[in-house]
């Protein structure tokens, strides 16, 4: 792993950490949802400071360059996050539509009561 890449990774992961913490301070992100970003920025930081981890893992998996391992690792992290967000989105869709259904039915009930009076 070249020194330039290491340097870039350190800066980027540090910036991500700062950015996430700032957003939490401004309450734009729930702590629950921020944990993922803090942990992955931290992991990236560790890998860039100790490239031995990436070198060891790339040898173990027979990957030519340690940089490729870093990319693979990050893609894996992103895929997991993406899938979790897809689940979250489905849940939100479901809850929103349930709310709308309940609202429509309750309004109907109310109109009926008014008419009866």
Check residue 103 for interaction with another protein (CB under 8 A): yes
Check residue 88 for interaction with another protein (CB under 8 A): no
> Residues 44-73: x/- map of binding to another protein (CB under 8 A)?
------------------------------
Nearest one of 51, 89, 80 to 68, comparing CA atoms = 51
Stretch that binds another protein, among 1-9, 13-21, 44-52, 101-109 (CB under 8 A): 101-109
* Rounded-to-integer distance, Cα 70 and Cα 1, Å: 9
Check residue 22 for interaction with another protein (CB under 8 A): no
Determine contact, residues 53/47, Cβ cutoff 8 Å.
yes
Q: Report, in Å, the least distance between residue 90 CB and another protein.
A: 9
3-state SS, 51-113, equals: HHHHHHHHHHCCCCCHHHHHHHHHHHHHHHHHHHHHHHHHHHHHHHHHHHHHHHHHHHHHHHH
Check residue 97 for interaction with another protein (CB under 8 A): yes
Check residue 105 for interaction with another protein (CB under 8 A): yes
Binding site for another protein (CB under 8 A): 94, 97, 100-101, 103-105, 107-108
């Amino acid at each position: 792993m070249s020194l330039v890449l290491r340097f870039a990774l350190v800066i980027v992961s540090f910036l991500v950490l700062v950015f996430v913490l700032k957003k939490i301070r401004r309450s734009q992100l729930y702590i629950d949802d921020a944990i993922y970003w803090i942990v992955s920025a931290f992991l990236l930081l560790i890998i860039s400071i100790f490239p031995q981890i990436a070198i060891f893992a790339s040898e173990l998996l027979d990957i030519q360059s340690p940089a490729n391992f870093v990319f693979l690792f990050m893609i894996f992290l992103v895929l997991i996050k993406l899938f979790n967000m897809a689940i979250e989105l489905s849940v939100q869709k479901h809850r929103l539509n349930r709310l709308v259904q309940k609202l429509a039915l309750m309004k109907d009930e109310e109109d009926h009561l008014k008419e009866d009076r």
